[in-house]
Each structure stands twice: as structure tokens, then as C-alpha cells.
Amino acid sequence: MTTDVQAFAAKIAMLAEIFKPAAPTDDQRLFRGRRDQLARLLTVAGAPGQHAIIFGERGVGKTSVSYMLRDTYLTMAPDTTVCIRLACTAEDDFVSLWRKLPGRLTREIGLAANPHLSELLTTEVIDRVEDAFLDEPTPDAVAQVLGMLADKARLMIIIDELDRMDVLAAGAKLADLVKQISDDIVPCTLILVGVADNVSDLIAGHASVDRCLMPVSMPRMTHAELTEVVEEGFAAYSERSGVPITITENSAASIATLSEGFPYYTHLLASAVGRTAIADSRESIEFTDVFDALMVAKDEAEPSIREAYYNATIAARSDATFEETLIACAVAESDRMGFFTASDVCDPLAFILGIPRKNSDFNAHLKRFSTNTPIVLLAKTSTKTPRYRFVNPLMRPYAMMCGLSSGILKRDFLAEIR
Ligand SMILES: Nc1ncnc2c1ncn2[C@@H]1O[C@H](COP(=O)(O)OP(=O)(O)O)[C@@H](O)[C@H]1O
Ligand SMILES: [Mg+2]
């Protein structure tokens, strides 16, 4: 007999399988949008000498799209395809990155439900890879190894979190590698993935790869797509658990609004609101439940964001209004690139504080946010009027969530934005 606690734990676990802010999704059903990106990536995967770079903001869904690509690519020829994912860390350089390859190959073959793969990539083949990398792997040596592997299997290598590496040093070597395997038409597809405003940040100044490296930009997701992520997620939960949870249209829409295009926040908020519903044995989620979930969700946001917010807003004096100013920045109108000026902050700050505000009343706050580490706002002071932008775009929705949960922002504010 299952106890109440076990039944509760089972439901929470089921929800955690659906809404998982910390993990990329590889669930075909819950994956929304991104058709253009997948089409481009699949075109690249089928074209000899072509490779791709997926780039966009953190939390926008880059790793997830690379998982979808991998799954689709594998399904086309499961018996002969090897798809390896190498994730970079801050300690990695070109050499240490490629030295991960033999281990990954071994794991991939061990994992494969498919015995054909281990016939293609035998332990001798993997030993040869390891031997080839005993000396520091150069772009040349890596190209040869990839050529050798690609003779045996359809090969795709996904290099994720590229921005964590020292891009200046590793970027040039990666560019050399891309160029080389492209010129030699080695039948291996390289997919690079990283955070960057534009591709040039990642493979800076390597014009020679322009033609063989297709840029695939990942914009933020639309409000409609994020609303569907919430609705479809709860529909999947209801089916899998046999216990229905419905979410009202405006609750799903308000989660999408608060997410500002980042599926990361959609998963974080939907997970929080869902857990509360399960804990209270409720079968429906209403608009007000979203606000109650904000408190939970903001405490579970990425630690780096929480710490940066805390450090920016902590004050020795109780009459300091750093938090109000930061929240006003988060809701201030910004241009297409996310920049705003002090004048853009005046109205929302006056609204929040209920008193008129001039730039001079809070310029010192903007200075603090843009100079004290960890820096929250990037200041562009080259023009007469300084412009500001959140260093981490995930901070904007986070500050808004903090504002709504603490009451600094009134609840009806959510209905007014967008
Ligand atoms: N297309 C999508 N549909 C639904 N959820 C998504 C989609 N893309 C990403 N997610 C979710 O958003 C969160 C962040 O995705 P992730 O791929 O890790 O982003 P990134 O690699 O850009 O930081 C994860 O919870 C993931 O499940
Ligand atoms: Mg990622």
C-alpha cells in the first residue's frame, strides 16, 4: 500500500521530470518552437564541409535545441551514428577539451542500446584516439582523429558552453579545426554552442570560417510559446499522474509574461506553482497562485543572480532605496539591445515610491550598480547621456519577481506590462 507521503513524493517527482529549470529538455512533447533553428541545423548536418554555431543568451534554450538536433540526427540512422557532446569548463583549453573525447566515446558506446555501434567503434579504435592525443592535440591532430572516426560512423560533435573557455586562446584553434575539416571535407559535423551577443565574440576575427560555419541565433521565446510550455507541461503531468491539474489561461499567460522570453524562468515558475498545488491537493491553478509561487521561485533562482541582487540592494540604512531603484530599472523601458537611461527609470521609480523623482535623486544608485562588484548594470558612458543595461539579462525578470513578491511592485502591475 502506498502511503500519503509516497504518493505525494511520486507526484512531485513526476512534476520535476516535466518542469526542470536546471536541465535542458530532451522531451519532444514539451519542446516548443525552434523549428527554424532545427531546420537550419539539420541542413548543416547533412551538408559536407558545413558546421554550425548556436549562440544566444544564457537560459534561452541553446543546449535544449542541441539535444533535439542530436536526437533527430540519431533517429535518422541509429545503427551508424555517433553523437558526442563535450561541455567546456572554465579550466578547459583546446587541449583539455579534446582529451575528453576518448572517455566520451567509451561512454557513448557503453550506453548505446545498439550493439552495432560497438562493432564500428571498437576499443582498439578508441585506444588509437587516446594515443593520438598523448601529445598535446593540435587542430591538425584532432582533424585526423575525426577523419579516422568519421570513416567508421556518421559523426556529430557538439561542443557546449564554449563561452566558459578562454575564448581568445581556444577560439583561434577551434576556427583552425573547423577550417581544416571543412577543407578536407571530413564527414563530421561540428556544432559549437555558446553565449555571445554575436558570433564574432566567440570565433573572433577568424574570417576564414565564415563560409563553413553557419550561425544559428537563438532569440528569446515568444509569449505564445512560453504559455504553451506551461499549458502543455500541466497537460502532460495530468496524463502521466492520472491526477488532473488545470491552469487558468491568465495564470499561464502571467508566467509567460514574467519569463520575458526565457524558458528557464517559465520552468522555474511553473514548477513552483505546480508543487504548491500538489501540496495543497488542488486541481486547479489560479492567477493568485502565481504570486504565491514567486517567493518559492525566486529563492530557487540561480545562486549567482540571487547573490548579485542581494549585494546590489543591501543597505546599512533602512531609508536607502536601492532595491526600489533596481526594480525600477528592471521595469524601465529599454531599447532593442536592452539599454535604458536614467530618465527611463524616473517614472517607474516615482510610481513605486509614490513620490516624484528626478535623475539626481538616484544617479548614485546607478553608479553603485554599475561599479560595485559583482556589477549588475553595464554602463555605456561614451555618449552624453549614459546608458545602462543589465549585465546578466536574467536579472531583469528576477528583479521583477522580487518586486512582486515583496509588494514593492503592485500585483496589478503585471497586467499592465506587455
Ligand atoms: N524550446 C523549448 N521548449 C520548452 N522548454 C525549453 C525549450 N528550450 C529550453 N527550455 C527549457 O529552458 C531551460 C533552459 O534551457 P537550456 O537549454 O538549458 O538553455 P541554455 O543552454 O541556453 O542556457 C530548461 O529548463 C529547458 O528545459
Ligand atoms: Mg546550456
Q: Where are the chain's structural domains?
A: 35-218, 222-300, 304-417
CA 193 to chain centre: 11
Quick one: cell of 310?
542581494
pLDDT of residue 85: 93
Q: In this structure, which topology does domain 35-218 adopt according to CATH?
A: Rossmann fold (3.40.50)
Q: In this structure, which topology does domain 222-300 adopt according to CATH?
A: Helicase, Ruva Protein; domain 3 (1.10.8)
* Bridge partners, 388 (sequence order): 340, 379
pLDDT of residue 418: 44
Whole-number Å distance between alpha carbons of 143 and 178: 9
Atom of ligand 1 nearest to the CA of 59: 23
CA geometry: angle at 316 spanning 311 and 321, to 5°? 75
Give distance in angstroms: CA of 55 to centre of ligand 2.
10
Cell 515558475 -> residue: 269
Whole-number Å distance between alpha carbons of 41 and 132: 30
Matching fold, domains 35-218 and 304-417: no
Quick one: CATH architecture of 304-417?
Orthogonal Bundle (1.10)
Quick one: cell of 7?
504518493
Whole-number Å distance between alpha carbons of 367 and 317: 18
Whole-number Å distance between alpha carbons of 42 and 36: 10
Give distance in angstroms: CA of 62 to centre of ligand 2.
6
Taking a C-beta distance cutoff of 8 angstroms, is the pair 279, 245 a contact?
Answer: no
Atom of ligand 1 nearest to the CA of 263: 12
pLDDT in tens, the chain (418 residues): 567 899 899 999 999 999 999 888 888 889 999 999 999 999 999 888 999 999 998 899 999 999 999 999 988 888 888 899 999 998 998 999 999 999 998 888 776 556 777 777 888 888 889 899 998 999 999 999 999 999 988 899 999 998 888 776 778 888 889 999 998 889 999 999 988 765 566 666 666 777 888 999 999 999 999 999 999 999 999 999 999 999 999 999 999 999 999 999 999 999 999 999 999 999 999 988 998 898 889 999 999 999 999 999 998 777 789 999 999 999 999 998 889 999 999 999 999 999 999 999 999 999 999 999 999 999 998 888 999 999 988 899 999 999 998 999 987 776 665 4
From 25, 158, 216, 232, mutation site for ligand 1 pocket: most ligand atoms within 8 A of C-beta:
25
From 64, 66, 202, mutation site for ligand 1 pocket: most ligand atoms within 8 A of C-beta:
64
Q: What is the 3-state secondary structure (H, E, C) of 378-393?
A: EEECCCCCCEEEECCC
* Bridge partners, 217 (sequence order): 55
pLDDT of residue 317: 79
Point out the ligand nearest to the CA of residue 218. 1
Point out the ligand nearest to the CA of residue 163. 2
The region, left, alpha or beta by phi > 0 then psi within -120 to 50, assigned to residue 65 is: alpha
Atom of ligand 1 nearest to the CA of 266: 12
Residue 242 exposed, middle or buried by CB count within 10 Å (0-12, 13-18, 19+):
exposed
Residue 144 exposed, middle or buried by CB count within 10 Å (0-12, 13-18, 19+):
middle
Point out the ligand nearest to the CA of residue 259. 1
Residues with CB under 6 A from ligand 1: 20-21, 24-25, 30-34, 58-64, 229, 263-264, 267
Atom of ligand 1 nearest to the CA of 33: 1
pLDDT of residue 211: 82
pTM of the model: 0.89
Atom of ligand 1 nearest to the CA of 30: 4
Point out the ligand nearest to the CA of residue 230. 1
Atom of ligand 1 nearest to the CA of 58: 23
Give distance in angstroms: CA of 25 to centre of ligand 1.
6
* Bridge partners, 213 (sequence order): 51
Give distance in angstroms: CA of 225 to centre of ligand 1.
12
Give distance in angstroms: CA of 66 to centre of ligand 2.
9
Nearest-CA residue for atom 13 of ligand 1: 264
Give distance in angstroms: CA of 31 to centre of ligand 1.
8
